C-alpha cells in the first residue's frame, strides 16, 4: 500500500517512540538488574581492621569485587550514612552507635539463613542489650581502652590515668581521638559514670582533660602505635590492639589496664538500610565468620575476637594477650548511647581540642 508523505512521517514517529520506549524500559530493567546482580560489595570500615590478603581471598573465591572505604571515628561514619543513600553494603559501628542507628531505623534486618558460620560466635557476645536477637548485627571484634607506657623512657610505675598528669610526660602522650573513651576516663577518674548525661559532670571532665593537654603530643585514631613503637612518645591512651602491635615492634612497651576505668567496646557488622547488594553483604559477613579467616584477621590486627572457633587456632601467646581475666572483664564498662547529651560531649570535646 502506498503511503503519503504525512503517513510516512507518522509511521516513523510512532516507530521511533516505540523504539525509544523500548530502550528506556530496557535501560531501566538493565539498571535494576545490575544493582541486584552486580558482582560487587561496598564496605565502609575502620582502617586497619581487615588485611588486604583476606579481601583478595574473598574476591578470588566469590568473584565479587570489594570496594573498600575507611573512617577514623564513629562520628564520621554516622555523618556519612545520615546524609542519605551512601551506597554502602556493610559498615562496622561500635556498640553505642549501633544502638543509635537501630533506633533511627538505619539498618537492614540480616537474613541469618545466609550466615551458616554465625554458629562460631561465642554466645557471650550475642544478644547484648542493643540488639537482643541479633536481627541487625553480627559481633566482629571487641577490646579495651587501655594505657601503654614505654618503661625505658619513664621512671615511675603507671597504674591509671592519674599517673599521666605527672610533668615527666610533658608533650609525650599520644591519645585516642575518641571523645567517649577519653572523656569517659576523665569522668571515671573523678568517680562519675562514664555514660553520664549530666552536663556539669561532662564539662568538669573537659576541664580535667584540658589540664592534661600539656602532656598530650597528639590525638590519633589512625595509627597511634607508630609514635609509641618509635619512641616518639612515652605513653599512650589507646585501644588494646594498637598497644599490642606497638609492643610487637618495641618490647619496652608495657600494657596497663587502668585502675579507674576499663572501657569495653564491641564492633559489629551491619547492613545499612537500602544497601544495593544485600546478598553480597551477607556473603561477605559469613566469609569473615569462617574460623581460618577470622584467625587471619586477628593475627594481623590483634583485637579481641568473639569467634570461639578462630580462638582455638591462635598461638597461645597471642590469645593470652587479647583475652581478659574474668575479674577484669566484669569491671569493664561499655559506652552507651547518651541521647541528647551527645551534643554536650561534642561541644566539650571540641573545646578541649581547639
Q: How far apart are the first and last CA of the chain?
A: 84
| Contact predicate 188/260, CB 8 Å | yes
pLDDT value at position 8? 39
pLDDT value at position 35? 58
Contacts of residue 83, Cβ cutoff 8 Å, sequence gap at least 6? none
Rounded to whole angstroms, how far apart are CA atoms 317 and 76?
Answer: 35
Give the length of the chain: 354
Asked if the domains 38-142+266-325 and 143-264+333-353 are classified in one and the same CATH topology, the answer is yes
Q: What is the pTM of this model?
A: 0.84
Structurally, at CATH architecture level, domain 38-142+266-325 sits in 3-Layer(aba) Sandwich (3.40)
The CA-based angle 181-75-124, given to 5 degrees, is 55
Reduce the secondary structure of 119-166 to three states and give it as a string.
HHECHHHCCCCCCCCCCCCEEEEEEEEEEEEECCCCCCCCCCHHHHHC
pLDDT value at position 238? 97
Strand ranges (DSSP E) for the chain?
40-46, 65-71, 90-91, 138-150, 173-175, 216-219, 235-239, 253-256, 263-269, 333-334
Task: List the domain boundaries for the chain.
Answer: 38-142+266-325, 143-264+333-353
pLDDT value at position 36? 54
Rounded to whole angstroms, how far apart are CA atoms 228 and 115?
Answer: 39
Rounded to whole angstroms, how far apart are CA atoms 135 and 151?
Answer: 45
Per-residue pLDDT tens, the chain, 354 aa: give them.
433 433 433 333 434 433 444 444 444 344 444 555 689 999 999 988 999 999 999 999 999 999 999 999 999 999 999 988 689 999 999 999 999 999 999 999 999 999 999 999 999 999 998 999 999 999 999 999 999 999 999 999 999 999 999 999 999 999 999 999 999 999 999 999 999 999 999 999 999 999 999 999 999 988 999 999 999 999 999 999 999 999 999 999 999 999 999 999 999 999 999 999 999 999 999 999 999 999 999 999 999 999 999 999 999 999 999 999 888 989 999 999 999 999 999 999 999 998
Beta partners for residue 175, in sequence order: 219, 237
Strand (E) or helix (H) holding 326 = helix 326-331
For the chain, how big is the Rg over CA atoms in Å?
25
Q: Which of 201, 207, 212 is nearest to 163 (CA)?
A: 212
Rounded to whole angstroms, how far apart are CA atoms 78 and 76?
Answer: 6
CATH number of this structure's domain 143-264+333-353:
3.40.190.10
Q: Kindly state the cell numbers that stand for 196.
A: 553520664
What single-letter DSSP state applies at residue 290? S
| Contact predicate 252/151, CB 8 Å | yes
| Contact predicate 43/66, CB 8 Å | yes
Amino acid at each position: 500500500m502506498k503511503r503519503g508523505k504525512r503517513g510516512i512521517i507518522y509511521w516513523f514517529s510512532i516507530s521511533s517512540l516505540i523504539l525509544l520506549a523500548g530502550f528506556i524500559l530496557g535501560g531501566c530493567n538493565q539498571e535494576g538488574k545490575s544493582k541486584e546482580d552486580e558482582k560487587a560489595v561496598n564496605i565502609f570500615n575502620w582502617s586497619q581492621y581487615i588485611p588486604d590478603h583476606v579481601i583478595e581471598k574473598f574476591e578470588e573465591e566469590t568473584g565479587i569485587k570489594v570496594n573498600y572505604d575507611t573512617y577514623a571515628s564513629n562520628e564520621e561514619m554516622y555523618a556519612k550514612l545520615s546524609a542519605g543513600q551512601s551506597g554502602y553494603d556493610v559498615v562496622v559501628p561500635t556498640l553505642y552507635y549501633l544502638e543509635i542507628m537501630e533506633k533511627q531505623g538505619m539498618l537492614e534486618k540480616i537474613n541469618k539463613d545466609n550466615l551458616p558460620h554465625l554458629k562460631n560466635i561465642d554466645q557471650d557476645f550475642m544478644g547484648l542489650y542493643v540488639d537482643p536477637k541479633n536481627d541487625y548485627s553480627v559481633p566482629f571484634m571487641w577490646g579495651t581502652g587501655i594505657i601503654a607506657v614505654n618503661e625505658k623512657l619513664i621512671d615511675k610505675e603507671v597504674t591509671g590515668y592519674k599517673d599521666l598528669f605527672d610533668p615527666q610526660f610533658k608533650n609525650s602522650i599520644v591519645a585516642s581521638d575518641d571523645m567517649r573513651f577519653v572523656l569517659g576516663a576523665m569522668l571515671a577518674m573523678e568517680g562519675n559514670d562514664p555514660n553520664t548525661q549530666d552536663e556539669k559532670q561532662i564539662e568538669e571532665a573537659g576541664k580535667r582533660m584540658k589540664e592534661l593537654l600539656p602532656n598530650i603530643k597528639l590525638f590519633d585514631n589512625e595509627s597511634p602505635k607508630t609514635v609509641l613503637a618509635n619512641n616518639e612518645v612515652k605513653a599512650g591512651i589507646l585501644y588494646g590492639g594498637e598497644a599490642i602491635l606497638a609492643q610487637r615492634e618495641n618490647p619496652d612497651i608495657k600494657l596497663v589496664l587502668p585502675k579507674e576505668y576499663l572501657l569495653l567496646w564491641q564492633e559489629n557488622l551491619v547492613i545499612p538500610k537500602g544497601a544495593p547488594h544485600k546478598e553480597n553483604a551477607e556473603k561477605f559477613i559469613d566469609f569473615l565468620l569462617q574460623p581460618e579467616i577470622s584467625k587471619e584477621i586477628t593475627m594481623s590486627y590483634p583485637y579481641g575476637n568473639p569467634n570461639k572457633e578462630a580462638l582455638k587456632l591462635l598461638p597461645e601467646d597471642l590469645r593470652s594477650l587479647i583475652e581478659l581475666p574474668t575479674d577484669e572483664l566484669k569491671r569493664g564498662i561499655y559506652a552507651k548511647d547518651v541521647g541528647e547529651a551527645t551534643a554536650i560531649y561534642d561541644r566539650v570535646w571540641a573545646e578541649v581540642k581547639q
